[in-house]
Amino acid sequence: MNYFMPTRLFTGEHCIAKNVDVLRGLGSSCLIITEKGAAEASGALADLKEALTSASITSQVFFGVRENPPVTVVAEAGRLAAELKVDFVVGLGGGSSQDAAKAAAVFASNPTLDEDAFYGFKWEVTPKPIVLVGTTSGTGSEVTKVSVLTDSKARKHSIHDDRLYATVSFGDPRHTHTCPKVTTLSCGVDILAHAVEAYFSRKADEISRAFSVRAVRLAFAPLTAAAAGETLDADQRKDLYEASILGGLAINTCGTCFPHNVGYYLTENYHVPHGYASAVFMPDMLELCRDQHPAYTQDFFDALGHTQQELVKLVTDAIGDLAITMDTQEIEAALPRWEGNGSVKNTLADVTTDDIRRILTDHFVA
């Protein structure tokens, strides 16, 4: 087994106020990196500011994060943190804000870094301490060393580095209560994508499989309710949040498989929300794994207590129709990006270029 996750994690209602003392050790000032709207609507920003004030920590807010954060925006946030000479950075929000804050911490300590040096991990000074406050159930970024950003060529790239772990992460499920339906569903299927891809990763081990199975079991009922249009109660929101953390722990060990990487293409070119873009290919991955590793695949569904058909139905119901059509030329032009790709090679089943061509054709060619 191979397990490392050094973040101090607190979840539960009012977990920031109850545990703010842990932040005192990080210094007396911080920059909160977030996006306008959800930060305020969720109540997370108000709760965080109140807790920081009670701990005599001053804060300023950078509201410039947007979905699939560009590395240029992240660098801007980091350089602002450097200018303000803050002691630590806080990423408050869903995956975009959390991933932006992780990378901004690098620029906060290395403000002259350019994009190549950033992606080349030429970080001379250790990144500033990172604190994360989650407001969606999906990313699991609270407990991973991963940051996914959009580069200057409009490509999504994930970077992995032990220096990107948060020192402290907070997950108060109350902050997810105001998530609109589309966010609940798209982030919710991302939980399933993380847990299932981790299970069918070549790096899966006993610890990661335990996280994967429990994540899907916990998320299954609330997501089924959300996909049916029901409003989730506090207990269902708590289950989804905890499932997202477990999914994060699973991918933190295992990395993701081809569905996440092929999904990046849908997000870059068709603006499909990240969770939908990844989970839409889960049924295809399960079929390949069922064909090539039938006993291992059946073990997973036995542990889940749900069948493959039930899981696929949940995912497809939650995603609905993506309304994307492609022609064969477009698919041929896209295919080279997955040759030798790490996430493709990480998939337990062998996945060829022909497989990806067939999968994209089945989904999107009329």
3-state SS assignment for residue 121: coil
Which region among 22-30, 49-57, 162-170, 189-197 touches Zn ion (by CB under 5 A)? 189-197
Q: What is the DSSP string of 255-305?
A: ---HHHHHHHHHHHHH---HHHHHHTTHHHHHHHHHHH-HHHHHHHHHHHT
Shortest Cβ distance from residue 354 to Zn ion (Å)? 25
User: Among the candidate windows 28-36, 155-163, 185-193, 319-327, which touches Zn ion by CB under 5 A?
Assistant: 185-193
Task: Find the shortest distance in angstroms from Cβ 136 to Zn ion.
Answer: 11
One-letter amino acid identity for 290? R
C-alpha radius of gyration, the chain, whole number? 20
Rule CB under 5 A: is residue 197 a binding residue for Zn ion? no
Closest residue to Zn ion, Cβ-based?
190
Nearest residue (CB) to Zn ion, 142 versus 190: 190
* Min CB(256)–Zn ion separation in Å: 7
DSSP bridge pairs for 272: none
Residue 342 beta carbon to Zn ion: minimum distance, rounded to whole angstroms: 15
C-alpha of 45 from chain center: 20
Burial class (CB in 10 A: 0-12, 13-18, 19+), 49: middle
Instruction: Identify which of residues 282 and 331 has a Cβ nearer to Zn ion in the complex.
Output: 282
Nearer to Zn ion, 190 or 355 (CB): 190
Q: What is the three-class DSSP state of 224?
A: helix
Nearer to Zn ion, 52 or 192 (CB): 192
Are 191 and 247 in contact by the 8 Å Cβ rule? The answer is yes
By C-beta, is 7 or 141 nearer to Zn ion? 141
Minimum distance from CB of 46 to Zn ion (Å)? 28
Residue 311 burial (CB < 10 Å; 0-12/13-18/19+)? Answer: buried
Question: What interhelical angle do 206-227 and 308-319 show, nearest 10?
Answer: 50
> Which residue number, 23 or 257, has a Cβ lying nearer to Zn ion?
257
What's the min distance (Å) between Cβ of 80 and Zn ion?
Answer: 27
Contact track, Zn ion, 145-184, x by CB under 5 A:
----------------------------------------
Smallest distance from Zn ion to CB 352, Å = 23
Q: Across the chain, which distance is largest between two alpha carbons, in Å?
A: 60
- Give whole-number Cα distances, 294 to 122, 216, 288, in Å: 43, 19, 9
Listed ranges 54-62, 75-83, 186-194, 328-336: which one lies at the site for Zn ion (CB under 5 A): 186-194
Of the ranges 18-26, 106-114, 190-198, 298-306, which one interacts with Zn ion (CB under 5 A)?
190-198
Closest to Zn ion by CB, 190 or 284? 190
Please, which residues bridge with residue 10 across strands? 170
Any contact of residue 190 with Zn ion (CB under 5 A)? yes
Count the residues of the shown chain that bind Zn ion, applying the rule CB under 5 A. Answer: 1
Q: What is the rounded distance in angstroms from the CA atom of residue 34 to the CA atom of residue 98? A: 8
Work out whether 35 is an interface residue with Zn ion (CB under 5 A).
no
Nearer to Zn ion, 33 or 277 (CB): 277
Residue 224's DSSP bridge partners are none
CB of 198 to Zn ion, least distance (A): 11
Taking the mean position of all CA atoms in its chain, how far away is CA 209?
A: 18
Binding interface with Zn ion (CB under 5 A): 190
